[in-house]
Amino acid sequence: MESSIFRCDEADEAALIIYNTNRHTGQSDLHVTVHCCSLTISPSDLILSAADGLSAFRSFLKTEFSDENIEFWMACEDYKKTKSSTKMASKANKIYHEFIDVQAPREVNIDYGTRERIKKSLEAPSPSSLDEVQAKVYSLMEKDSYPRFLRSKMYRDIVNRTHPYHQRRSV
């Protein structure tokens, strides 16, 4: 499976479109569409679900010294897939100490109330224990980092490299 990424601009609304192409059948299916200006992004549809897009977004966040947000988001996604309650508790503890605790080395920007609710919910971890904080961090990326990424030279270079003929107007 190969992913293709391109950007189009239409009526001042930026869109990132990722197509997956099956190498064996040649069929393409629309994988992700993100509208930056109207912010119709959902966690399951964001660029985060495509390896190439995720890698580019992570690289961009590293240049902005805010990659803890995407790393936290990915850790939460992994956490939700955990079946074993023992492993879930271990992962929850690791995520808390790496990203949520006020002394965390990669602390994400969340308010005191959210931090305390998450701390309490992790006393008996469930797959949804981190949903609230993950949604807040996602929202922060959606409203702040992601629009900057779409305007970045890094993103334009990816678009121009992968589908130069799809670009309708320069970014």
Q: 67-139 architecture in CATH?
A: Orthogonal Bundle (1.10)
- pTM higher than 0.85, yes or no? no
Torsion sign, CA atoms 97, 83, 81, 125: negative
Return the DSSP state at 109. Answer: -
Q: Give the domain ranges of the chain.
A: 2-63+142-164, 67-139
Helical packing angle, 131-140 and 67-80, nearest 10°: 150
The tens-digit pLDDT sequence of the chain (171 residues) is 444 444 444 333 334 444 344 455 544 443 333 433 333 344 334 455 556 677 888 889 999 888 999 999 999 999 999 999 999 999 999 999 999 999 999 999 999 999 999 999 999 999 999 999 999 999 998 888 988 988 888 888 877 776 655 544 444
